[in-house]
Chains A and B, each alone.
Chain A
Amino acid sequence: MTSLTQNFNFAYLDEQTKRTIRRTLLKAIAIPGHQIPFGSREMPLSYGWGTGGMQVTAAVIGQDDVFKVIDQGADDTTNAVNIRRFFEKVCGVETTESTSAATLIQTRHRIPETPLQEGQIMVYQVPIPEPLRWLEPSEVETRKMHALSEYGPMYVRLYEDITQFGQIATAYDYPVMVNQRYLMRPSPIPRFDNPKLNMSPAIQLFGAGREKRIYAVPPYTEVKSLDFEDYPFQVETWDKACEFCGSTESYLDEVVTDNDGGRLWICSDTDFCRSRGKREE
């Protein structure tokens, strides 16, 4: 792997492949929330491990970008480390752990707590892009349903949750309606993060490598989590505070500390937690 930089193109993929991905991205941005097929390539990481996000990143990254990678909100999880060191190797770009310093952020399962700004690009790793997949396994059928905006079955499913459980029992990858037209999977972020998708000033790009799909949410686009008038969308809350920084408004991870069920709660967003910790010192 040490010879990677000598033997491979900037950002690993050849220019032609990057160009076709960028064309797909432009189309995706033009039709917010709509899944566009693309000729996804094998990457030196397994499918399902962020190859879609990596291909999107490879297509848009430039020499001047400052790159941040998070997995589960943290910069230091092994998968985040692995993807970051891959792009360090094949691009030699500057990397950061700071959300506000980054121009390009690749993420798995979280949106940073620090609000995104204009000019920033978020790249989401997507395992299953199709929001209707658990209702209808056939791609041929789901494409038809999207074309006809036939989203009734999804509302029925949510309604069944309410009759059975008293609430919508989807904790993550909670379906959203983009620009009042396309039903979209926000990738497996907790529903806590869904409101951050709405009217975000950043460009949000979604890459599913194994499923060969790209979709996007352009800046300042309406992204609405599905709900009902009498059962409005709600995010989860904790009656705990972060053990490190005391935050009560961030997404908290539960950590088991001993064999007797001892627990504590810490921010999942390590950059947010650290910068808050500093402020309060």
Chain B
Amino acid sequence: MKLDAKIPSGPLELKWDKHRSDLKLIAPANKRKCDVIIVGTGLAGASAAASLGELGYNVKVFCFQDSPRRAHSVAAQGGINAAKNYQNDGDSIYRLFYDTIKGGDFRSREANVFRLAQLSLNIIDQCVAQGVPFARDYGGLLDNRSFGGAQVSRTFYARGQTGQQLLLGAYQSMMRQVAHGRVKLYPRTDMLDLVLINGHAKGIIVRDLITGEISSVAGDAVILATGGYSNVFFLSTNAKGCNVSAIYRAYKKGALFANPCFTQIHPTCIPVSGDYQSKLTLMSESLRNDGRIWVPKKPGDTRHPNDIPEDERDYFLERKYPSYGNLAPRDIASRAAKEVCDEERGVGPGGRGVYLDFSEAIKRLGKRKISERYGNLFEMYERITGENGYEQPMRIYPAPHYTMGGLWVDYNLMSNIPGLFVLGEANFSDHGANRLGASALMQGLADGYFIIPYTIGHYFATAKEPKSSVNNPEFKKAEKDVVNMIKKLLSVKGKRSAVSFHKELGRVMWDNVGMTRSRQSLETALKRVPEIRDEFWQNVIVSGVNETLNQDLENTIRIADFLEFAELLALDALEREESCGGHFRVEYQENGEAKRNDEQFAYVAAWEYQGIGNKPILHKEPLYYEYVQMATRSYKSMTDLL
């Protein structure tokens, strides 16, 4: 299979403009005849639904929550980037582009990332017009903060609830289209399969989560905006329902899965407290703007943090990365925290934590300013730990958070299956091997508001596929497969709950495929995952029946998919014999820093499914850099400023 990213020709700055004028249009009267299926109502899905509805398409939108407003985007705290340069601190589209490419450790496409940086400007304008209450300064203009991996202040925020406010903006715009009859909502519905007809994506199979009814939905194109797969680690900052199922089922139908091993561990989460734990809570990275990260210099120091004098503290990020200090990119900050804990300098129960200290910022700015900026995060921390972050440093530790990998898409955000588009965290497109803070929201909205409205029209104008009907045998067959899979799960009637398998899988993945990876650990994972999966299919017990609201069944189906997908993730990590971004292979390092191998691995790894337990086929999309030099991603020196 030849992978064609369809990157437009011409100079970088003009590619998207040129492409937009080259894309074929579809007459308004014909848009009404096109049925678009969107799975997902997060930033990516809701913004796409609103925009496509406005254009006159017939849109059907699905999500598993009871309301689209609860999609996991709602939980994003910190902010959204845009190269507005309102602060006059030297930001530009080019700089945001460069920061993102570099932050991604030179494993993303130049053309995609440049477009993202360009569109960042429109996103902020759009959101403000919708009434998103971004923070403002006393003059009434928009305020910014800085975020990891950047030396300019370009992050727009709405207290610690930026994701919520952006999502509500997109949701409200979508609901306006529901009122107009252009968008039809299907909440409490799980997508369980993708249906292809004549090689094109033509519909999905869904399960009604209240009645258990399995049915087919036909359309002229399918958009997946189903979010990330961090829950393969069981414990992550993602919501309980986040899953890989939708994109994994598409993968099983022939869509290529790109860079599954590029997962991001977030440095500032509340440490694990026990094995009953159901998820980890993120403290927004924006805290690193004003908080200083440290551990005691002495191993095993059990003194209260406030009793440890300045000269006995190791501000390890400031020491190792003087130019970025506490704002070093996520992967670097996470590994540095693991390192100091491995040296037994970690703090809190179990020694898996580092301090995040606000005392200096409080002295400098006053408690009021700090609480204005991060008040709700301090409250959240106190609610969970019972400790007051204003009076003593918080404790933080890294946790799985975001997945850069996802379904392979071309410049039009279309997968290798014609008519299947993938947006937001579910695709692999823009973040390379590591995502910078505040860039996921930007990407989700760029995809949904400003890219898909153009590219989907081109597909309809050029593909000219006949309409499909749910009576097509392909739909009947896919429905039957889903019904059989559910029957099989319910008939195992074993002794272990599905969650116990998920926890076991998560531990194997965190220990072997987590923050650091080695050939040996990956081989262990590749051996253990199929064993767990086998036992699952022989020994899982699922309560109840299909024909009712059955949360245990919903969850078990998702876990079954994680148990297959985990193997793909580990395999990709094994084959990528280099360290880059969030993927750190202990064999490939130099003076403790990740060592990339551009000669052999400057490509996108896109995997093609070959059946359960069979090795998938690897397709490579080479990455070319015409405008930036593939520098070593150093955050150490002051001269590293380009």
Asked if A pairs with B, the answer is: no
Interface residues of A (CB under 8 A from B): none
Interface residues of B (CB under 8 A from A): none
